[in-house]
Amino acid sequence: QVQLQESGPGLVKPSETLSLTCTVSGYSISSDYFWGWIRQPPGKGLEWIGGIYHSGSTYYNPSLKSRVTTSLDTSKNQFSLRLSSVTAADTAVYYCARAAAVTGQNNYWGQGTLVTVSS
Amino acid sequence: DIVMTQSPDSLAVSLGERATINCKSSQSVLYSSNNKNYLAWYQQKPGQPPKVLIYWASTRESGVPDRFSGSGSGTDFTLTISSLQAEDVAVYYCHQYYNIPLTFGQGTRVEIK
């Protein structure tokens, strides 16, 4: 049973960097698949952020590309998101998810973690 | 970016009746080389992550009840719930994964009449 769980600070100050980790159980992230991030502002719709293949190749939403990095830690079976220079507009529930490919549907999702950007 | 537009924004349907949600993409999501539509439908209940119901426009995810079905091709797609159950109250999103950035529709809220 594949499971994903997000973790990280729930409060980030404006202009600082948001850092989240997704811990995966039930599957080795180094074996296959695309490991992605999607966010949802409170009461709003879904926005694809981007993610990373098991090989290390990354793909990002162009609207966020200048501020986003993702990485793998295969020793811990985790992948991470960093979003720099955050503003209140980055306040959202952040989900990690697994897809067969960057051009694939997300079959497995974490429960999501709310990150609030506020001073 | 491919813009996904759903209609209606919300609908109320009686238990046991049919619910139909439409999704239109601003450009085709049909990949000619494999004849697949890069279109999925998700269900999201309050406080939960989205759950994939349908992918490749019409393939039901394992474990999804057969009252859920997807149809359409190119730019016009439909999610049908053939007989609405109480547990189907949720927001439904269409999603194109044809090209980057991947995008979602604005969501359709389904309620019981």
- Cα B32 to Cα B74: distance, rounded to the nearest angstrom: 10
Name every chain A residue with its beta carbon within 8 A of the beta carbon of B99. Answer: 103
Q: Is residue B89 less than 8 Å (CB to CB) from chain A? A: no
Q: What pLDDT is recorded for position A97?
A: 97
The DSSP bridge partners found for residue A19 are A82
Q: What pLDDT is recorded for position A90?
A: 98
Residue B87 clears pLDDT 90, i.e. is over it? yes
Percent residues over pLDDT 90 in chain A: 92
Summarised one tens digit per residue, pLDDT across range A36-69 is 999 999 999 999 999 999 999 999 999 999 999 9
Owner of token pair 């389904």: B110
Summarised one tens digit per residue, pLDDT across range B88-111 is 999 999 999 999 999 999 999 999
Summarised one tens digit per residue, pLDDT across range B33-86 is 999 999 999 999 999 999 999 999 999 999 999 999 999 999 999 999 999 999
Cβ atoms of A12 and A117 within 8 Å: the answer is yes
Q: What pLDDT is recorded for position A104?
A: 86
Q: What pLDDT is recorded for position B6?
A: 98
Q: Comparing C-alpha atoms, which of B106, B10, B41 is closest to residue A45? A: B106
CA B39 vs. chain centroid, Å, equals: 8
Q: Is residue A114 less than 8 Å (CB to CB) from chain B? A: no
Among all residues of chain A, which has the CA nearest to that of B52? A107
Q: Which of B48, B52, B107 sits opposite A107 (nearest CB)?
A: B52
Residue A102 clears pLDDT 90, i.e. is over it? no
Cα–Cα separations (whole angstroms), residue A11 to A90, A115, A119, B64: 11, 6, 9, 36
Cβ atoms of B113 and B14 within 8 Å: the answer is yes
pLDDT band, very low/low/confident/very high, at B17 (cuts 50, 70, 90): very high
Q: Is residue A11 less than 8 Å (CB to CB) from chain B? A: no
Cβ atoms of B23 and B6 within 8 Å: the answer is yes
Q: Is residue B52 less than 8 Å (CB to CB) from chain A? A: yes
- Taking residues A82-92, report their average pLDDT: 98
Among all residues of chain B, which has the CA nearest to that of A95? B49
Q: Which of B38, B104, B105 sits opposite A103 (nearest CB)?
A: B38
